[in-house]
């Protein structure tokens, strides 16, 4: 697929995915959502050669400032439901991706942008970053998972306040509440993201994928989290990587995992 709204770069197994609609503050339109889906279903799914993905926004004003409201004007109730289901499906792809996905947030992460960031496994922010779900200002509610993930990250009390008032969190507030992992200077943002993915890449690939599955199981009402953990633990105990890692630990060596 030839991308129109995404810039895709890859170096040493780390993909940098840039939402490239700077004039629109990188707002998520249908085309952008389609390209995100294609990327995570296809280009990023190459097995062990992929170490992780960093998602960022073009320019220095916004990560993603929301969905493209112009597209909302033409929808009715049924079309709105379809849009929300599709958005959730795309963001589930990101959340369930078997390698680390990091949001590098360099400005506004509002509405769909906040929802995109929350679908990533980790979030880094610059001091200028702002977070919020301001949909109520338009007579709407979040539709791409915002009402659910915001509660998971910052708790019901603060989440309800933000969802009902349309207020915003500063980067420092987001850090204090647990919405972001780190706040770093803008010039260090990508270095920190690459360093985190590099650190994860030195661990057992199968184990990392099972960590992602186990954590997601906690929030999946179709699964019992502790039972899922037992199942995934069973899976990793039967891998070559476990034998490699255990032997390396005993022999005080660095493990060379194979992803098998």
pLDDT by residue (tens digit) across 17-26? 999 999 999 9
Catalytic residue among 49, 115, 173, 188: 115
Q: Is 64 exposed, middle or buried (0-12, 13-18, 19+ CB in 10 A)?
A: buried
- Using a pLDDT cut of 90, give the percent of the chain over it: 77
Residue 95: active-site member: no
- Which sequence spans correspond to the domains of the chain? 6-200, 203-250
Which residue reads 């770093």 in tokens? 184
Q: Which residues pair with 62 in a beta bridge?
A: 108
Q: Looking up tokens 């493990």, which residue turns up?
A: 255
Q: Encode pLDDT of 78-91 as tens digits.
A: 988 999 999 999 99
Residues paired with 170 in a beta bridge: 130
> Does residue 239 carry a pLDDT above 70?
yes
Rounded CA separation 16/7 (Å): 8
The pLDDT, as a whole number, for residue 120 is: 98
Indicate the CATH number for domain 6-200.
3.90.226.10
Look up 37 and say whether it is catalytic. Answer: no
Residues 6+ apart with CB under 8 A from 10: 16
Catalytic residue among 35, 135, 187, 240: 135
Range in 96-100, 137-141, 175-179, 255-259 with the lowest mean pLDDT: 255-259
Structure tokens of 212? Answer: 């992602």
């Amino acid at each position: 697929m030839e991308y129109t709204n995404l810039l895709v770069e890859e170096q040493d197994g780390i993909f940098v995915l840039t939402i490239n609609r700077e004039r629109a503050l990188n707002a998520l339109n249908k085309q952008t959502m389609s390209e995100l889906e294609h990327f995570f279903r296809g280009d990023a799914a190459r097995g062990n050669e992929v170490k992780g993905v960093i998602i960022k926004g073009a320019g220095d004003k916004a990560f993603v400032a929301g969905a493209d409201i112009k597209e909302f004007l033409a929808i009715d109730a049924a079309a709105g439901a379809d849009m929300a289901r599709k958005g959730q499906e795309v963001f589930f792809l990101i959340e369930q991706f078997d390698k680390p996905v990091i949001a590098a947030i360099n400005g506004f992460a509002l509405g769909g942008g906040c929802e995109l960031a929350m679908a990533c496994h980790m979030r880094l922010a610059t001091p200028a970053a702002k977070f919020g779900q301001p949909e109520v200002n338009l007579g709407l509610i979040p539709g791409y998972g915002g009402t659910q993930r915001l509660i998971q990250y910052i708790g019901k009390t603060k989440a309800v306040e933000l969802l009902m008032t349309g207020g915003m969190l500063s980067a420092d507030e987001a850090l204090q509440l647990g919405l972001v992992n780190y706040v770093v200077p803008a010039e260090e943002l990508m270095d920190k993201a690459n360093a985190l993915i590099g650190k994860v890449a030195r661990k057992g690939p199968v184990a990392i994928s099972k960590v992602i599955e186990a954590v997601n199981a906690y929030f999946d009402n179709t699964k019992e989290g502790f039972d899922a953990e037992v199942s995934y633990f069973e899976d990793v105990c039967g891998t070559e990587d476990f034998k490699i890692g255990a032997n390396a630990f005993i022999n005080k060596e660095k493990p060379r995992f194979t992803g098998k």
